[in-house]
Amino acid sequence: LAERLQNTMKKITGKGKVSEQDVKEMTREVRLALLEADVNFKVVKDLIKRIKERAIGQEVMESLTPGQQVIKVVKDELTELMGGEQSRIAVSDRPPTVIMMVGLQGAGKTTTTGKLANHLRKNHNRSPLLVACDVYRPAAIKQLETLGTQLNMPVFSMGTEANPVDIAKQAIEKAKEEHHDYVIIDTAGRLHVDTDLMDELEQIKTTVKPDEIFLVVDAMTGQDAVNVAESFNEQLDLSGVVLTKLDGDTRGGAALSIKAVTNKPIKFAGMGEKLDQLEAFHPERMASRILGMGDVLTLIEKAQTNVNEKQAKELEEKMRTASFTFDDFLEQMGQVKNMGPLDDLLAMIPGANKMKGLKNAQIDEKQLVHVEAIIKSMTKKERQDPSVMNASRKKRIAKGSGTTVSQVNRLLKQFDEMKKMMKQMTNMQKGKKGKGMKF
Ligand code: GDP
Ligand code: MG
């Protein structure tokens, strides 16, 4: 989405201070991006109001990394809007548990019926019976039967002449006889919401009293999906939503509005035509996707949890007074390592895989191991005050760490340069926050 939003986000990420003007600029971009991503207007308005309040509040302004905090606020609010992860499916006290699939034609009901059945068997060890209640198109029954064959699961159908309500009723009787613990009813759809369809679905609902009614909506239909969800929910009181075709390049802004408008959770996401391409819906990932930022937010969070703010402040103090020692160096390295392999971290940064320097990063990681070994072979005194270093000490350290004297020398030189640089930096940019080191 909006490259502009990404640029704004990037600009704000590294900021040591965020002004009200920055926040205004950023929320304007967020607002445009959300509208562009098909998020409902009213939803956007409420959301922006909350983001502004929080972003200009203490939580952000007094934090060590306000730029990152602002972005986190945006993401938090988006995630919140979509609710927590809710991929649970009801289990009836008196089996079979009945799931009814509803939605417009082409939304993906039949496919999702197969996917859910597969999910229930694979992940919950259940034995579902699939039921063909779309009697208006012979091809629809055939389609479900084909899925049944692929899955090696039974499909209950009574042809195109029978009444969908009767089919559903008899299917449940059959499921009881044959000890199926789940019944998934695939119903008919129309191109648009109409009263005939709704009446039929309501009759099925009253007759079989399903434990779950899942609305299947096509994420690619954008704002329309929201209207559809609203109508179906009014008529049938849904229990959840399955958002399909998220494997396309749709931004999925509809996801945000659906939850906000119906207050029903999005439980699953369809990620392709294949029967195993159904996933639990992750509000957090969706928020990142809507913001178009890859997993950059996860990266920020990782950094935040691992670099404890108090430690960072102490470090800054040490940098300012140039009393930074090898022990501090070791600790910093530990923090970087806690964040996971450098390669993984880089992979989370959008565009990083296109960067030329990535190959070097892999080499660096090996060097880190050596660096750590060298420092660990130093005595306490040597770590605190490298000026005591002489030829015999260096030899001992090289031996102890399985490296060479020239590697030890190189590290000592780098450390010395780093200290000088820190001093310059802190003198030059008084008041600017320390940002950790690069290796
Ligand atoms: P129904 O009319 O609601 O039963 O919809 P179908 O299950 O027949 O699906 C309509 C079309 O959408 C089919 O071609 C499916 O293969 C396709 N489809 C369903 N779910 C997904 C999905 O998550 N991703 C993609 N790419 N295609 C899907
Ligand atoms: Mg169908």
Task: Please state, as a whole number, how many other Cβ atoms lie within 10 Å of the Cβ of residue 100.
Answer: 26
pLDDT greater at residue 240 or residue 313: 240
Tell whether ligand 1 has an atom less than 6 A from the beta carbon of residue 252. no
Protein residue whose Cα sits closest to atom 27 of ligand 1 = 273
Task: Please tell me the pTM assigned to this model.
Answer: 0.65
CA of 98 to the centre of ligand 1 (A): 22
pLDDT for the residue numbered 37: 66
Confidence class for position 435, pLDDT limits 50, 70, 90: very low
DSSP state at residue 393: H
Shortest-distance atom of ligand 1 to CA 105: 2
Ligand 1 neighbourhood includes 107 CB (under 6 angstroms): yes
| Pocket lining: 243 vs ligand 1, CB cutoff 6 Å | no
User: What are the strands, taking DSSP E only, across 299-429?
Assistant: none
What's the 221 CA to ligand 1 centre distance in angstroms? Answer: 13
Token digits of residue 138? 């012979």
| Interatomic CA distance for residues 136 and 139, integer angstroms | 9
Using the atom order of ligand 1, give the atom closest to the CA of residue 143: 8
Cβ-based neighbours of 257, under 8 Å, separated by 6 or more = 38, 39, 40, 43, 223, 226
Atom of ligand 1 nearest to the CA of 269: 23
Pocket test for ligand 1, best of 105, 273, 275, 277 (most atoms within 8 A of CB): 273
Q: What percentage of residues in the chain have a pLDDT greater than 90? A: 40
Say yes or no to pLDDT of 423 above 70: no
Distance 110 CA to ligand 2 centre (A): 4
Q: Which residue, among 439, 432, 438, has the nearest Cα to 65 in the 3D structure?
A: 432
Q: Which of 101-105, 314-318, 368-372 has the lowest mean pLDDT?
A: 314-318
- Per residue in 238-250, pLDDT (tens digit) is 999 999 998 876 6
Could you give the CA distance from residue 237 to residue 198 in angstroms, rounded to a whole number? 12
Average pLDDT over residues 296-311: 51
| Binding site membership of 245 for ligand 1 (Cβ less than 6 Å) | yes
Torsion angles phi and psi, residue 360, rounded to 5: -65, -35
- Is the C-alpha dihedral spanning 264, 268, 272, 273 positive or negative? negative
Binding site membership of 279 for ligand 1 (Cβ less than 6 Å)? no
Task: Say yes or no: CB of residue 250 within 6 Å of ligand 1.
Answer: no
Model confidence pLDDT, tens digit, residues 150-202 = 999 999 999 999 999 999 999 999 999 999 999 999 999 988 888 999 999 99
- Report yes or no: 260 and 50 within 8 Å, Cβ to Cβ: no
Greater confidence, 226 or 312?
226
Check if the interface score ipTM surpasses 0.90: yes
Nearest C-alpha neighbor of 101 from the set 123, 130, 76, 69? 130
Atom of ligand 1 nearest to the CA of 270: 23
Q: How far is the CA of 34 from the centre of ligand 2 (A)?
A: 31
Q: Quick check: CB of 398 below 6 Å from ligand 1?
A: no
Question: What's the whole-number mean pLDDT along residues 264-290?
Answer: 88
Q: For the segment 104-147, what is each residue's pLDDT rounded down to a tens digit?
A: 999 999 999 999 999 999 999 999 999 999 999 889 999 999 99
pLDDT (0 to 100) of residue 328: 77
Supply the pLDDT for residue 188.
93
* CA–CA dist 54, 4 (Å, integer): 22
